[in-house]
């Protein structure tokens, strides 16, 4: 499967490729591919990132505020990349990249209710909360009708300041189609063998759902 990869705020596609290397290395050996792109807005790097990596750094839209129309611009930017470099079977995001990916999935489903989903599966790592189409309000979890019904993988960290947001994102996805793994750490992708193997297994669980016709 081909995955489009959306990094977190204040980082870059290259940095996300390094962060997710433990997951992608094993999956690439099984024939899956990963395309890492930069966000549309050049920004200041996250403090813990710029101490380790050189810039430039990017975000998909300004952070720490409601994105508003910047969400639309971010979606259009990624849609152009999909048109030229796609199609992609899945999407993998970290933090803000998860919020953008989920917004794209939801918008596509709303605008094209009878069409195939934008992606067959989504991998959300330390996900930020998704916004509505206007980029002004957070989408609330519901048990009546889950907005995201494709297979999803949720990798979260109990000590992550964004843990409540990751759980909010989990709450808008159909739990019957979801794989869930808590690595117990902070806002990062752990590199130790135990966690890496568990994260890979979670992603492979979602891939199996797709191959078995879950969506």
Query: The CATH number of the domain where 84 resides is what?
Result: 3.40.50.1820
Neighbour-count burial of 135, counting CB atoms closer than 10 A to its CB (0-12 exposed, 13-18 middle, 19+ buried): buried
Q: What is the pLDDT of residue 135?
A: 84
| Of 39-48, 51-60, 85-94, highest mean pLDDT | 85-94
What average pLDDT is seen over the chain?
A: 93
As a whole number of Å, the end-to-end CA separation of the chain is 14
Long-range contacts: 109-117, Cβ < 8 Å, 24+? 109/147, 109/148, 117/149, 117/150, 117/215
pTM of the model: 0.94
214 pLDDT tier (thresholds 50, 70, 90): low
**Total domains present in the chain:** 1
Domain that holds residue 94: 2-211
Q: Which of 69, 143, 144 is nearest to 103 (CA)?
A: 69
**pLDDT tens profile 176-186:** 999 999 999 99
Whether 91 contacts 123, CB under 8 Å: yes
């Amino acid at each position: 499967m081909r995955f489009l990869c959306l990094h977190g705020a204040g980082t870059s596609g290259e940095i996300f490729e390094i962060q997710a290397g433990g997951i992608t290395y094993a999956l690439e050996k099984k024939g899956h591919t990963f395309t890492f792109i930069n966000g549309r807005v050049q920004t200041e790097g996250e403090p813990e990132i710029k101490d380790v990596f050189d810039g430039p750094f990017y975000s998909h839209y300004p952070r720490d505020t409601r994105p508003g129309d910047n969400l639309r611009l971010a979606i259009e930017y990624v849609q152009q990349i999909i048109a030229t470099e796609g199609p992609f079977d899945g999407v993998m995001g970290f933090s803000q990249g998860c919020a953008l990916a989920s917004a794209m999935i939801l918008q596509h489903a709303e605008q094209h209710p009878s069409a195939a989903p934008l992606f067959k599966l989504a991998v959300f790592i330390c996900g930020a909360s998704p916004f509505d189409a206007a980029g002004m309000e957070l989408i609330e979890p519901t048990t009546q009708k889950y907005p995201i019904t494709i297979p999803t993988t949720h990798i979260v960290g109990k000590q992550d300041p964004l843990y409540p947001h990751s759980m909010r994102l989990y709450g808008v996805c159909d739990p019957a189609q979801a794989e869930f793994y808590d690595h117990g750490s902070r806002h990062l992708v752990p590199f130790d063998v135990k966690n890496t193997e568990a994260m890979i297994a979670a992603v492979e669980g979602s891939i199996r759902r797709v191959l078995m016709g879950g969506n």
